[in-house]
Structure 1
């Protein structure tokens, strides 16, 4: 990974620590308190050994020392438990805050942006990658503070007793973080590749799982099984590479810590044998000094060793932060304006409007048109003409340039909530959620009672089906509208749209994939609901255009025709060409004649 990028990601991670609240600092304070208790414990033990072995003092004199020593053991255990508990709470708060931020960001970015990645990739970001930040905030950041404070406390106690031992500790201490950095240089890059492979595997597996019936029908199940096996093997290799770095880092740290402690022990051993006579300020070296320093020597390196053990948590967090930072800092298609819409029917005015993709590519336009209050406007054109992109821009899911005004106010200046509360949207692929039929209908309108829901179901011509179910309104809708036909799902989605009491209906092929009976029910309910509302409908069903006030014809992102259907049907142009290609059951004259009638 590029060093500048790694530094940027590490800085971004530190900016998020405010979400941990006071628990992060409390974890550090508990760790420092544990270190101070350790120094006192070592002093008590060294004092008792000096008095009992060298000074031959009575054991009763050290009873208070022993009681204090035992109490410190219990206190240190409680402090260690408290530090782990508080560190976990800090990480949990951070994860909750970050997950909420990710979900809010995805809702603001909208489906046009979210569809750029498979659902499994988003699941990996929201679940695994956020989860992998736990140890960074719960352990690594507090341990960084302890790795600085506790060795300083121990050095402050060691130098007054023996400057040589203090110098050995001070000289050898940098070896551990130095080799920790050297060994861990590739850890962040390995973790980043690991998360990339995890996203790919998650997205690949979920997409294939959803398409399993189609794969079986076309005899592609075996080929996709081999592809999933290959992706799984790639993920396994990357996971083992990360683990290999973690184990190597721990082994190197343990080796250099053991060597450093051995140097301190050798110094005191030769000093007691009389071979070394320096470091003790001219005073005979005592058992107390040697025992105190030797007891403290492992604890001097322990915070650095723990930091090294948690270093993979930093590398793991940096690998996870790349996708999270890119998501949370992605530009939003609809800025968070604060102007509210006036209480009147919705009108739209577009001038030199150009709809862009999330990466800045032009999808539609420039084009200019108007939708008057209460007017019904149809968008037609061949596939890929930009009709759905225009709807996504109106919904605030795609960025645009030029002017797009709603009731005279630029869309970018409107509060998104105020704007979307005035809308009802119905697409060709209804999205129902796992839950009861009542929950799906009152989605966004929790105040609706059962009587209001039944009225909406009657209007959508789906009440008879709901009554036929043993649980009625409590009938459960499975994932991906499981247990319902396409027509039933579309009519439940229609009831949900009708519950909005909207002033503008945005319809994207609402009758696509429906049989003639379901299509007639859906359209009749829509026309009845839209009598006093504005409507912009995308449709390929040219035989439905006689009900619309005006028609906009798009081709390759450009507005090529505009006017009343009866007029455009008789003029040379794209609409007449499309009408000529209708099935033989409907001729151009039939459609145009029906429009005039």
Structure 2
């Protein structure tokens, strides 16, 4: 949190400066008001006699209003920029982790961190931090003035002032723990609710929909109870601080009243007059006001610290992620020397936390326009190798050289299909593509007849995750997106798995056209027809690559 504050220091100083100016304007306003009242009451002064004092009061009020506006603007700018910095770091971090490592985290929890927890940082930087400085400077200035007017009243203010920060800190520690628990609860609630929504069809089939509603309601009530606990602590802290401030002001008022009446003969009480007594009495509430304002914003600090715990756990790299940063830099250097579509892996190793080495060390060079097939038993690392090439995960050792411009196309067994029309799904990769281009891509992917029979044509509605399409049709739709994509490198992970023989033939025909277009294809597969398409076939065994030499007949058939 200190690191984030360093980036917004000018706005932070602006908020403090404006707040200090508002405090000085308040001092001038109260002094001028006490002088005007004293002159009117003691000397029966006319309006013309006190015109300067009245003008000074008006000017001080105007300056105070402008300074408070400036403090609010600077504070909001400070908080806004911190949120932008933190969100940018989180997005970069999510990109570094990639979809593979993020699979262990719930998407709803990540969304809660990106939105709710980042929003909770704003109050800490826009209000609490500037007010913490003002709560030390402004009362000190007022204390010096009161000490000059009456040192006995200043001593009482000096005694009462530390009680407010003391109780604020004691109550604030409990509030911070409650805020941390509250953020954890809302993250769990987000994931719990999203899981139930995603599985509502399955829950209805098994007659568990009502039970799921009760579970969500129970979790929501738990979050409500936690929120009320946090609010109770906040209200308690405000009540305690208001009590001590009110008692302190009352004691000062009693002292001034008794001193003016002559009942107190000790110390400087005999020198009290209407001006000094009224000035001190007007300054006493303003003396405690910065501390009271700080107490009001203290829950912003507790909320920010509670949010920071979760954000730090996401931003800090794990032990097995220490090496990839260096590999990423080497990747960028290597990719500049490669033409689009080419791939070069040099001494690559991949490990996951808590597991032995998955891949490596291995090296591989794939030229642009080449078709390479990867074979091996399930769990041998074929998908991990494709994920390395795609940049979804970073290697622990070695370099992955890939020219990522203009793009890399990815096709696996479960293609992404969004809710929308057929054209919407195709334009994910080519937003400016014409309807004719979309139809051509669908024809190349083997969906020409399906499109002709669809009543809505390109405007045929599709549900999320491909509702409205069979598995093979969804796979061919994803293949059509590859045809539309400008990508020169295409990575395919078991593209024909779980397809019927007829659909397999359509997909393989589409892949054949794709290979003939000059694109680079790297395919993880078990299908003989796809292996026959490949110029080279590699087997992955115990994390190592070994080339499979095919017979002359197979190479001739491929040619």
Give the TM interval when normalised to the shorter protein: 0.7 to 0.9
Alignment length (residue pairs) = 547
Match of 2:46 among 58, 68, 72: 58
CA distance in 2, matches of 1:476, 1:79: 57
Match status 1:427 vs 2:412: yes
Report what 2:312 is aligned to.
325
CA distance in 2, matches of 1:562, 1:538: 14
Report what 1:14 is aligned to.
2
Match of 2:339 among 340, 343, 355: 343
Match status 1:105 vs 2:100: no
Note the C-alpha offset of 1:184: 0.9
Report what 2:151 is aligned to.
163
* Secondary structure of 1:110's aligned partner: helix
> Could you state the TM-score of these two structures normalised by the residue count of structure 1?
0.81
- Name structure 2 gaps, 5 residues minimum: none
* Secondary structure of 1:341's aligned partner: coil
> Could you state the TM-score of these two structures normalised by the residue count of structure 2?
0.86
Match of 2:286 among 296, 299, 322: 299
Match status 1:315 vs 2:296: no
Report what 2:31 is aligned to.
43
- Cα contact 2:264–2:270 (8 A) shared by 1: no
Q: How does 1:387-406 map to 2 (within 5 A)?
A: 387-403=382-398
* Secondary structure of 2:342's aligned partner: coil
- From the superposition, tell whether residues 552 and 342 of structure 1 become closer, same or farther in structure 2 (CA, over 3 Å): closer
Kindly report the root-mean-square deviation, in angstroms, between the aligned alpha carbons of the 2 structures. 3.4
- Cα contact 1:566–1:596 (8 A) shared by 2: no
Report what 1:238 is aligned to.
226
CA distance in 1, matches of 2:232, 2:257: 37
- Cα contact 2:407–2:489 (8 A) shared by 1: yes
- Cα contact 2:341–2:488 (8 A) shared by 1: yes
CA distance in 1, matches of 2:43, 2:405: 85
Q: How does 1:118-129 map to 2 (within 5 A)?
A: 118-129=106-117
CA distance in 2, matches of 1:212, 1:479: 14
Match of 1:529 among 492, 514, 536: 514
- Cα contact 1:345–1:534 (8 A) shared by 2: yes
1:85-105 CA-partner distances (Å, limit 9, x unpaired):
443333233323332332233
- Cα contact 1:363–1:389 (8 A) shared by 2: no
- From the superposition, tell whether residues 241 and 111 of structure 1 become closer, same or farther in structure 2 (CA, over 3 Å): same
CA distance in 2, matches of 1:19, 1:448: 42
* Greater displacement, 174-183 / 219-228: 219-228
CA distance in 2, matches of 1:88, 1:120: 28
- Name structure 1 gaps, 5 residues minimum: 1-12, 404-409, 568-591
Report what 1:33 is aligned to.
21
CA distance in 2, matches of 1:92, 1:435: 34
* Secondary structure of 1:530's aligned partner: helix
- Cα contact 2:29–2:57 (8 A) shared by 1: yes
- Cα contact 1:426–1:508 (8 A) shared by 2: yes
* Greater displacement, 282-291 / 44-53: 282-291
CA distance in 1, matches of 2:196, 2:540: 34
Match status 1:458 vs 2:443: yes
1:305-329 CA-partner distances (Å, limit 9, x unpaired):
1111111101101111122223233
- From the superposition, tell whether residues 141 and 466 of structure 1 become closer, same or farther in structure 2 (CA, over 3 Å): farther
* Greater displacement, 117-126 / 262-271: 262-271
* Secondary structure of 1:355's aligned partner: strand
- Cα contact 1:250–1:308 (8 A) shared by 2: yes
1:48-67 CA-partner distances (Å, limit 9, x unpaired):
22112223323432234234
* Secondary structure of 1:354's aligned partner: strand
CA distance in 1, matches of 2:64, 2:452: 65
* Greater displacement, 320-329 / 337-346: 337-346
Match status 1:287 vs 2:281: no
- Cα contact 1:506–1:535 (8 A) shared by 2: yes
CA distance in 1, matches of 2:132, 2:463: 48
* Greater displacement, 479-488 / 319-328: 479-488
- Cα contact 2:412–2:494 (8 A) shared by 1: yes
- Cα contact 1:23–1:89 (8 A) shared by 2: yes
- From the superposition, tell whether residues 498 and 360 of structure 1 become closer, same or farther in structure 2 (CA, over 3 Å): farther
